[in-house]
Amino acid sequence: MIGRSLRLVKWLAFFGAIPLLTGCGGGDFMPSQQNSLFGNNLTGNYTSSSGLTHTVRSERNGNELRGAYPMVEISFQLPHIEGNPFDFRENDVKATISEPNGSKITLPAFFDGGDLWKVRFTPLMTGRHQVTEVTLNGSPVNAGKMENKTFQVTGKPSDGFIKISTNDPMRFVFDDGKPYYPIGNDLGWGNGKPGYIISILDKMGKSGENWSRIWMCAWDNLNLDWGGDAQGHIGYLRLDVAKRWDHIISTAQRNNIHIQMVLQYHGEYSTTTNPNWNENPWNKKNGGFLSSPEEFFTNPKAIALTEAKFRYIIARWGYSPAIMAWEIFNEVQWTDAISHHDEAEVGAWHKTMADFIRSQDPYHHLVTTSSDLKLPIWEDMDYLQPHEYVADPLATFAAYDAMHLTKPWFMGETGPNGNMSKNDGPWLEQALWGSMMSDSSGAAQFWDWNKVDSQNLYPQYIGATTFMKLSRFPYMNGIKAVPAAVKTESLGVLSFGPGGGWGAEKTTDYTVSPDGTVDGIGEMPSYLQGDYHRALTPYILFHADYVRPGTFSVTLRQAAKAGATLDILVDGQKEAEKVYPEAKQDAEVNDTLQVKVPAGSHDIKLVNTGNDWVVLGGFTLDPYAPAIGALAKASRTEGIFWVYNRGAGDNTTGDLILNDIQPGDYQVHWFNPSTASETKTVPVVVAKDGAMKVSIPAFTRDLSGWFIRK
């Protein structure tokens, strides 16, 4: 989540917690299985030798194609620890466990207060396990009052952890080979409300969502090394915060939600964008040791303390399949280091941290970060996490598809650019279905969890996740975004918008095709510049061919405080103008300029003759294109599609045409996203020309579907 005037962060505080439930003593367990298509959340009982029964959850395996068994927590006492118990360089505590096949695994332990240390272990096999040794800095020590020194594992395994498929490097799979397609929304922090994160995770789980993203942020008491017990004690971590995270992780796992745990965020080391540098305990002004935010990425002490914190995080929560990945930094492009052109240092830091995490993590979680894709930080990341806030998500997905990325990617944050409206439902609908029809490795993840909850957008997720389960499209091999043509008797309203944000135009000319496609629109910046930065976007020129007389409209979302003036010219003649005078601050606006356009071919030009930028929300040509728009993702024998109404009224119909399909007999299944239900199945024959022609049932808003060869 970035700064500028588009998005503001509210620095809030406090989040309550409930301790994680674990087993104690010696015994065995038999989990009961609750399968789902994209992961199963096993639960079961671990019965101790004392007869106590506690809830446990299924966990991770190794790299083999198999599952894993419920986590076992092993606790013990080490009463004579000296120095910082949170820093493995001073106190490196590990436990070795003997497995039933004679192999041994050594796991990092974590400090949990007083004399108490713990190890959280995910069994990979059934049978008797035993802790054979505890070491401190490589030397054996006597661990007192050990619980679960021996235990018996039985039952059926879960799917395991998430990794990248060896068969398709653009897909995620579980350890047992089942596909994982992430779909959900961000849940950055708890808004200062005790229990808020837990309640939202429960709602997300009920909606079928299987992904989220949560920050270790200071303002919500989720940062391990800021405030509380850690204040004034650099290198010491907060156990009260750790217990909150215990509860978050266990709740996510119970709801079958896999999270990206965001370990660092930009504001900690920024003086300009959502800045927290003045509150940072490592700032020399606060008694720390860093003179500037940039030093975080190069200072040896900062690197060592960050690694120590990461090691603690891995030891305490690395057991859990509820963690999809460690996200080592949120939007590093907004730190002072990047604004001062220290890209190489930031890139080296990312490599150092990725290498360190992989050397310490016995469960081999994925590692990622989030930023624009231009920075030199992605080589050592397992998958890409761009963030985009745009007017037209469909255009943005098309632009990313055109990049032909070679690592898995999906938008870890997305949302409308500027003040779209009080109803984010239509924008989210396009983002969800447009991303599912794109080549991305997961759905676009909506940033604003408050709006999802306050506007009750959960039914949209129910529709999307139900479609995913019924169509089983993550199991379809070789499906890619493909052109989808539609024929309708009437014309509809063509609406689209710029797919980019701030930046330079690659072209100034755009052709609006009769079918509604606009090549290059996904890379059009949403900022139309004035005199101050005119070289970035001098103007925008549309070449349009109207079948009937119609209108052209542009919506405006923001205007710079330095002032701006937008002119619309049709065939060189100015037809409309909007002036934004200078002001004390950038202005959120919601204005529309419209001009009449005669039938035939015309050039429509937008130019900003003022001082500074305006943010373009979108463009509308009415009437212009077929009444139904369509997107599809397919191979030659199977695929999925989504059709949407372009404002042509109720009961719109037409024909959907997909080309290069293997001749033969097919079943086409229609699905209604609004009711989250399959509506009808129809047979379709594809002739030798490879064209699949499907009659679209009458609908009002949108429909989706899938097809498979008989």
Give the DSSP per-residue string, 543-576.
Answer: EEEESS-EEEEEEEEEE-TT-EEEEEEETTEEEE
Q: Which residues of 220-257 are buried (b: 16+ CB within 10 A; e: fewer)?
A: bbbbbbbbbebeeebbbbbbebbbbbbbbbbbbbbbbb
CA dist 550 and 161 (Å) reads 54
Same domain, residue pair 252 and 236 = yes
CATH code for the domain of 703:
2.60.40
One domain, residues 511 and 633: no
Asked whether residue 579 is domain-assigned, the answer is: yes
> Which residues partner with 32 through β-bridges?
43
Give the pLDDT confidence score for residue 418 in this predicted structure: 62
Is residue 220, in this structure, part of any structural domain at all? yes
Distance CA 555, CA 496 (A): 11
Is the domain of 285 the same as that of 398?
yes
Cβ pair 278, 341 in contact under 8 A: no
Answer yes or no: do 197 and 343 share one domain. yes
Q: Are residues 484 and 465 in the same domain?
A: no
Cβ within 8 Å of residue 378, ≥6 positions away: 369, 384, 407
Rounded Cα–Cα distance for residues 105 and 99 (Å): 8
Domain boundary residue, one of 98, 128, 153:
153
Please provide the size of the chain in residues. Answer: 710
Residue 520 inside a domain? The answer is yes
Residue 165, classified by CB atoms within 10 Å of its CB into exposed (0-12), middle (13-18) or buried (19+), is: middle
Same domain flag for 655 and 705: yes
Q: In the listed set 153, 184, 218, which residue is the last one of a domain according to the structure?
A: 153
One domain for residues 111 and 226: no
User: Tokens 């017990």 label which residue?
Assistant: 229
Burial 445-471 (b: 16+ CB within 10 A, else e): bbbbbebbbeeebbebbbbbbbbbeeb
Last-in-domain residue among 625, 649, 670? 625
DSSP label at residue 266 = G
Q: Is 158 part of a structural domain of the chain?
A: no
Is the entire prediction scored with pTM above 0.85? Answer: yes
542 & 645 share domain: no
Specify the pLDDT at position 36: 38
For residue 422, what pLDDT is reported?
Answer: 64
Q: Are both 672 and 603 inside the same structural domain?
A: no
2 within domain boundaries: no
- The CATH number that applies at residue 39 is 2.60.40.10
pLDDT at position 417 is: 77
Q: Which of 419, 470, 465 is CA-nearest to residue 442?
A: 465
Q: What is the pLDDT of residue 40?
A: 39
- Domain span at 103: 28-153
Please report, for the domain that includes residue 587, its CATH number.
Answer: 2.60.120.260
- Same structural domain, 300 and 443: yes
For the sheet containing 652-658, what is the strand order?
485-487, 652-658, 692-699
Render pLDDT for 632-662 as a digit per residue (tens, 0 to 9).
Answer: 999 999 999 999 999 767 788 999 999 999 9
- Give the alpha-carbon dihedral of 18, 24, 29, 32, to 10 degrees: -10
At 191 the pLDDT is 86
Tens digit of pLDDT for each residue in 588-639? 998 999 999 999 999 999 999 999 999 998 999 999 999 999 999 999 999 9
Split into its structural domains, the chain has a count of 4
Same domain, 219 and 351: yes
Which residues, given as ranges, of the chain have pLDDT below 50?
2-64, 420
509 and 433 inside one domain: no
| DSSP secondary structure of 300-324 | HHHHHHHHHHHHHHHHHHTT-TTEE
At position 553, the amino acid (one-letter code) is S
CATH number, domain of 176, equals 3.20.20.80
Indicate whether 159 belongs to any domain: no
Whose CA is closest to 542, among 583, 587, 601?
601
Residue given tokens 């490097």 in the structure block: 169
User: Beta 150-153 vs 144-147: how paired, if at all?
Assistant: unpaired
Distance CA 491, CA 571 (A): 23
Has residue 637 been placed in a domain? yes
First and final C-alpha spacing in the chain? 46
In a domain, 7, yes or no: no
